[in-house]
Copies of this chain bind each other. A is one copy, B any other.
Amino acid sequence: MQATMFYGPEDIRWEHRPDPRIELPTDAVVRVVAACVCGSDLWGYRGFHPEGPPRPIGHEFVGVVEQIGRGVTTLKPGDFVVAPFVISDNTCVNCRNGIHTSCLHRQSWGGTDPDGRINDGGQGEYVRVPLADGTLVATPEPPADALIPGLLSLSDVMATGHHAALSAGVGPGRSVVVVGDGAVGLCAVLASVRLGAERVIACSTHLDRQQVATKFGAGDIVAERGEDAAAVVRDLLANTGADCVLECVGTEGAMDQAMATVRPGGRIGFVGVPLGGAQLHIGQMFARNITVGGGGAPVRAYLEELLPEVLDGRLDPSPVFDLQLPMSQVAEAYRAMHERRSIKTLLWP
């Protein structure tokens, strides 16, 4: 098969890899129908991670089950499946607590399994899926093609936006500020509207992203940055700040903006993968009774709730995909996102 390999900063290659096959009874092999590039894939692309040997990359894909191991009981060949960005068993204590990202048997796409195998990445023609029963969720029937981008967003960004909103306590009557206008930030706007927020303010400096935020239900757009943005938000919100702030970037500046924007007693939900050793000042949180929570979204826990809404059209996150390319042009997909020419790029095999 052909698949995407990460060689190092700005070095993404579409190349031959061995065809995957069932290696363990709990495996499935999935033919990829659509995949995409994640903002977090760009950290390595930009050189923010230590370098290592080339490895398969991509952790968001949907596809069709081709083969299953003899221990797989919830899937059958032909099923259309959504793959969360983390491999989990869905049975351990942390999965039962709904935190599949802390699964005791967690594995990563493109990572190494406990026996030393290199797992496939999601940006390829086929993927061997470990712990297939625990990881994959099948649709009741094959979806229409038009729904595939929305379903693909459930692999990560839509579920992550939902996690940001839940972590910040978004609900009816709440005022919400979303910091970050990447695909996750935009999905966080959509998730907040879906959860009944009274008012959603999106911080975005890019016209194309502002338009998606507005389409997703943001009532106000704040184009200022940093402390200026916080001042505008406080002006909009009775001079106090937002009940809920969704930090969807992962930088210190974004967390500072979130902290400056939230009201006393408010909550910050953060889902941006934190870069480096970022710290929170406890005294600042204490003085204003700020709650901070979040982390890697337990996508698997949310699929049962979100998947039916995408299938019946109530939830449509697909506008975050503003560029679609054949997978063989994956290097261009990375470039387009790196250069911010694309919010999020979808890859067809």
Residues of A within 8 A of B (CB): 93-94, 97-99, 101-102, 167, 238-240, 255, 263-265, 267, 270, 273-274, 276-283, 285-296, 298
A239→B290 contact, CB < 8 A = no
Q: How far is the CB of A57 from chain B (nearest CB, A)?
A: 20
Residue in chain B with minimal CB distance to A168: B291
- Count copies of this chain in the complex: 2
Looking at the complex, which one of B239, B264, B285, B287 makes contact with A292 (CB distance below 8 Å)?
B285
Bound together, the chains give a CA A278 to CA B294 distance in angstroms of 20
Q: How far is the CB of A297 from chain B (nearest CB, A)?
A: 9
A285→B290 contact, CB < 8 A = no
Looking at the complex, which one of B93, B238, B274, B285 makes contact with A286 (CB distance below 8 Å)?
B274
Residue in chain B with minimal CB distance to A98: B265
B240→A291 contact, CB < 8 A = no
Bound together, the chains give a CA A99 to CA B238 distance in angstroms of 15
B282→A282 contact, CB < 8 A = no
A289→B294 contact, CB < 8 A = yes
Residue in chain B with minimal CB distance to A264: B102
Q: How far is the CB of A45 from chain B (nearest CB, A)?
A: 20
A239→B93 contact, CB < 8 A = yes
**A270/B296 contact (C-beta < 8 A), A98-B265, A238-B93 known:** no
**A291/B288 contact (C-beta < 8 A), A255-B282, A279-B279, A280-B280 known:** no
A102→B239 contact, CB < 8 A = no
A282→B278 contact, CB < 8 A = yes
Bound together, the chains give a CA A110 to CA B285 distance in angstroms of 24
B293→A289 contact, CB < 8 A = yes
Bound together, the chains give a CA A218 to CA B290 distance in angstroms of 28
Bound together, the chains give a CA A50 to CA B255 distance in angstroms of 30
Bound together, the chains give a CA A239 to CA B102 distance in angstroms of 13
Residue in chain B with minimal CB distance to A280: B280
Residues of B within 8 A of A270 (CB): 282, 286
Residue in chain B with minimal CB distance to A247: B282
B287→A240 contact, CB < 8 A = no
A277→B283 contact, CB < 8 A = yes
Residues of B within 8 A of A240 (CB): 93-94, 97
Residues of B within 8 A of A288 (CB): 99, 102, 295
